[in-house]
Amino acid sequence: MFKKLLITISIFVTIIVVLIIVAGVIVYTKVDKAFISSQMSRALNRQVYIEKINVNIFSIISGIEIENVTISNFKTPQQLANLQSKPVVKDVFAGMESLRFRVKILPLLKRQIELKELVLYNPVINLSKSKQGILNIDDLIKSKKQDKEKKVQAEEPAKPISVDDIPVAIAVGEVGMKNGTINYYDGENDQKIQIYKLTTLLHDIYIDPKNLEKKDEIKLDFGMGIRTVGALKTGSVRSFDITIDANGKIIPFDVKTRLLEPEAIIHVAVPDGEITGLQVFNSIASIPILGDYLGEYISFLKDKQQWKGAKENGLDLRYKADKAEVTNGKLNLQEAKILFDGIMNTKSKAIDMNAGVVMKKEINDAVKTSLTKKIDSLIKSPDIKKYADSNKLATAAMQPLLNKDGMIDLKTKITGTTKSPVVRLTQPQLGSLGSVVKDAAGSVAIEAGKGAAKEAVKKILNEDQQKVLEEVEGLFNRK
């Protein structure tokens, strides 16, 4: 019995080895750089040059590696015929140092797909838009769009994708790119943006239609730097250079409906950054009452903001069906800490956010000094100054600004869109500095006597403060 079992196992192993060798021979004989480049060239309508493909009869196990691939921008059939097998030396659309592909064989016999690796290394992509608004990938986008439109016209509306449409369980080790660069030039507005050190990896992918409750997950690691090359002429920010590190997971299928409805749960860190002219910051700094109280100590938001090595900077993001929910948002700047949360619709760009600004405690004395000078400039009469101390008035004026830790703490509500945000101060509720003077004038009326105070108040209040007189006169009529 045992002998028969060994024979059966040996036959099974032999069959597997033979299948692997046959598959390897097919790969070895069919997959070469001329074959791959010609297929890619025909599909993309672009000149494609491959320097080297590492392939042998065991590549079906060890994997295939393609090295130094370069792709041009669009070429006509005649141009492609003339450029066949020649290196791409100019008009480069994209290139990459290598592509590695590895798949497991044995799981295929169990109706399972296990891809170990499909990763691009050091790709560089040059995207551009002409002055007429034409992208250098429009030919690819339009052709696919036209094919889709024809298909829709010929068939009934496509039904939603269900996990039950997948005939096998899927397990993938790693898919994506490492250390990529994307250069984008906008000819319409003559501005450039670069994405650098781009790493996007989907890994530990497990999807099993028969066990969706436990196997419906894709893990994500994402990192990049993004910066402007020169100042932007459009949009809600003038310039920026920010690094982003993110990790989390994607749940591709809804467990209840079993339909493809991806949900992303990600933590995004922004450890290093530089940004100038962010529209939301400008809107907060432009709230008139904050300018009266804080002056230059709030206008800093309009200037360049820089931070480095701030691991706490970032947010938690939950995204599904065009709705992005942000929680635990934090941006620790040199002068203040920005705290934010809320919701944004990625399709309409509508926002409903809460943003708080907590100033560093070190600026309290400077703010108080500034307020003292402003209040003092409104109280010019020596008679009034005997009863109204500008320094004490400034201290009183600051109290609504301070939280329990003694720091200036502002809370705002942001609505509208990302390009046209509407910002409203929700806390604290501040009266004008004129009201501080009014209250002081009322005290003077009580302390210094009705007649003398009335004359004194007339001297110190300018034409814009005549309403104060009426309220002070009201004090004289009280019994």
pLDDT of res. 384: 64
- Among 53, 60, 55, CA closest to 21: 60
Token output for 343:
């919701």
pLDDT of res. 239: 87
- Among 52, 100, 44, 39, CA closest to 72: 44
β 336-345/351-359 pair status = antiparallel
Q: What is the pTM of this model?
A: 0.73
pLDDT of res. 142: 66
**265, 353, 390 from 450: Cα distances, Å:** 67, 50, 22
Residue 203 contacts residue 173 (beta carbons within 8 Å): yes
- Burial annotation 10-20 (CB, 10 A radius, 16+ → b, else e): eeeeeeeeeeb
- Per-domain residue ranges of the chain: 2-317, 362-406+432-476
Give the three-state DSSP class for 453: helix
pLDDT of res. 14: 38
pLDDT of res. 2: 39
pLDDT of res. 198: 92
Query: What digits encode the pLDDT tens for the residues 233-250?
Result: 776 677 889 999 999 999
Residue 49 contacts residue 76 (beta carbons within 8 Å): no
DSSP letters, 297-365, are HHHGGGS-EEE-S-TT-EEEEEEETTEEEEEEEEEE-SSEEEEEEEEEETTT-BEEEEEEEEE-GGGHH
d(CA 457, CA 201): 71
Task: Please give the torsion angle defined by the CA atoms of residues 94, 200, 261 and 145, in that order, rounded to the nearest 10 degrees.
Answer: 0
Residue 181 burial class via C-beta count within 10 angstroms: exposed 0-12, middle 13-18, buried 19 and up: middle
d(CA 379, CA 441): 9
pLDDT per residue of the chain (479 residues) written in tens, 0 to 9 = 434 434 433 433 333 343 333 344 434 445 566 777 777 788 888 888 888 877 665 555 556 778 888 889 888 888 888 888 888 888 888 888 988 877 665 555 555 556 778 888 999 989 888 888 888 888 877 654 455 555 555 555 667 889 898 888 888 888 899 999 999 998 888 889 999 999 999 999 899 999 999 999 999 999 999 999 887 777 667 788 999 999 999 999 999 999 999 999 999 999 999 998 888 888 899 999 999 999 889 988 988 899 998 889 999 999 998 999 999 999 999 889 999 999 999 999 999 999 999 999 999 999 999 999 888 887 766 666 666 788 888 888 899 999 999 999 999 999 998 878 899 999 999 888 877 777 766 665 555 554 554 555 555 555 445 554 454 444 444 44
pLDDT of res. 24: 42
Residue 274 contacts residue 238 (beta carbons within 8 Å): no
Task: Categorise residue 190: left if φ over 0, alpha if ψ from -120 to 50, beta otherwise.
Answer: left
pLDDT of res. 219: 95
pLDDT of res. 15: 38
Query: What digits encode the pLDDT tens for the residues 70-128?
Result: 889 888 888 888 888 888 888 888 888 988 877 665 555 555 556 778 888 999 989 88
